[in-house]
Chains A and B, each alone.
Chain A
Amino acid sequence: MLNFQSTPEPISRLIEEFNKLPGIGPKSAARLTYYLLRMPEGDARALAEAVLAVKENVMLCSVCQNITVADPCSICNNTQRDHSITCIVEEPLDILAIERTRKYSGVYHVLHGVISPADGIGPDDLKIKELLTRIQNDDVKEIILATNPNLEGEATAMYIQRLIAPLGIRVTRLARGLPAGGDLEYADEITLTRALEGRQEF
């Protein structure tokens, strides 16, 4: 730890706050603080307000649980989108990745995590209950499970599939196969097996 005795209290306080951020150690925290000190007041104020605005105005969409400034969020509110297809993702960032494809026009549901028995994260810690109430009330025809293709993601997908199966809704899983621009030689056997299983007419 740095010795804060010679630093004025507001400065050491800001250093400590920066220090809590991921990837920022005491040295970087001090450097950021002294940079802010020399910043024009307007810029510093803008930063402070932006930080506050994030906490004050951003909330979870009551429908899809995505982070949003308006409830329901712009995706759930969009009548152009197909509300009968729901894509289930682990994190809000995954929505951005899928939106970048411009190939999906349905809506989303964010779980905010993934079942991970070894970390003690169970279904109750995720937004699964919200998902169930949602699909029971809305007219949903298809659920796309888009959790990550790793052990936890698969476990979560299987768990949700089991919950939804009795409702008679079509449940699909994102295809798992080879990444574009990759090299077959380096593909692991799980990926290759899935790629073989999921091969398509050419």
Chain B
Amino acid sequence: MAKPRVYKTEAIVLKRSNLGEADKILVIYTPNLGKIRAVAKGVRRSKSKLGGNVETLIHSSMMLAQGRNLDIITQSQTIDSFLPLRSDLWRTSCALYTAELVDRFTEEHIENYPVYRLLLDTIKNIIEEEDVNRLLRHFEIRLLGYLGYKPELKTCIHCKKALEPVENYFSASGGGTLCPACRLAEPAVRPLSLNALKVMRLLQQSSYQQASRVKLNEGLSKELEAIMRSYITYILEREVKSVQFLDELRRPQNYQS
């Protein structure tokens, strides 16, 4: 269906970059139109009425007009600015990480409502969540599922047999688990403890409300993070940039998460 000349949509602002003297290019994620790159004119002037309504990580209702190249944001009314998030450096960075993942994994103009919902719910949850790491793992594994990269966690990807309750292996290149007998079938496999496997299955299958009942100790949390990071880096074929800053914040001399 052709887009009308002016259209209205909800959107989450993933990213902004400067354009010309006072404009910005926004990357926004919408429920029915997927990812859109659009221009917000004059927003860097302090008197711009658009200004704070097109800030990064804002949930807002926007009016856009089709432009020759990029669409132009003509109005924006904030629905939720996630204000408590903005006064916490660690949580802001985590939310930026989720936004970067969505930006990297999606193409423009491809609708994916579950991804939109997941992103919105996750950002809302980050504000109050005790264990943000667990929330991020849930976000990652669900996002991958919605985008067609759902990791196989039930059977061995090589021999197709159901996994035994022992230490198994995870292969980023194969996109799933390997049983101990087949662990040489793929290059660069990582050991996957039974507990980690169980948590991954739980995160993959359930809503965050259900998944948040499981408590992760530090070791398990680190193991899951390392596995998901290797898988994500493998699919994207590049590092996720905001991860560096998350690591930086976690260094003890700076700030305890």
> Interface on A for B, CB 8 Å cutoff?
23, 115, 117-120, 122-123, 150-152, 154-155, 158-159, 162-163, 179, 181-183, 186-191, 193
Contact = CB atoms under 8 A, between A and B. Distances in A.
Interface stretch (B135-143, B208-216, B241-249): B241-249
Given A179-B46, A189-B83, 20 more contacts: A23-B20, A115-B245, A117-B100, A117-B241, A117-B242, A117-B246, A118-B96, A118-B241, A120-B244, A150-B55, A154-B87, A155-B93, A162-B89, A162-B255, A186-B49, A188-B51, A190-B52, A190-B86, A191-B51, A193-B83
A191 B52 contact: yes
Contacts of A187: 52
Contacts of B255: 162
Interface string B50-76: 011101110000000000000000000
Contacts of A115: 245
A118 B15 contact: yes
B92 interface: yes
Query: Which 10 pairs from chain A and chain B are nearest by CB?
Result: A188-B52, A117-B242, A186-B49, A120-B241, A117-B245, A151-B56, A158-B89, A188-B53, A179-B46, A190-B52
Nearest to A149: B52
A31 to B, nearest CB: 20
A97 B97 CA distance: 32
Nearest to B43: A150
A141 to B, nearest CB: 24
A29 B96 CA distance: 39
A181 B63 CA distance: 25
A155 B92 contact: yes
A117 B96 contact: yes
B78 interface: yes
B221 interface: no
Q: Is the interface of B mostly helix, strand, loop or mixed?
A: helix
Contacts of B56: 150-152
A25 B105 CA distance: 32
A119 B242 CA distance: 7
B83 A190 contact: yes
Contacts, number: 78
Contact of A190 (B55, B100, B103): B55
Nearest to B60: A188
Given A151-B92, A179-B47, A181-B47, A118 B78 contact: no
A154 B244 contact: no
Contacts of A119: 17, 241
B254 interface: yes
Contacts of B96: 117-118, 151
A122 B96 CA distance: 13
Contacts of B81: 188-190
7 contacts: A118-B99, A119-B241, A150-B16, A163-B254, A187-B52, A190-B81, A191-B52
Nearest to A22: B20
Contacts of A188: 51-53, 55, 78, 81
Contact of A155 (B49, B78, B89): B89
Interface in B185-206: none
Contacts of B46: 179
Nearest to B53: A188
Nearest to A185: B49
A189 to B, nearest CB: 5
A109 to B, nearest CB: 19
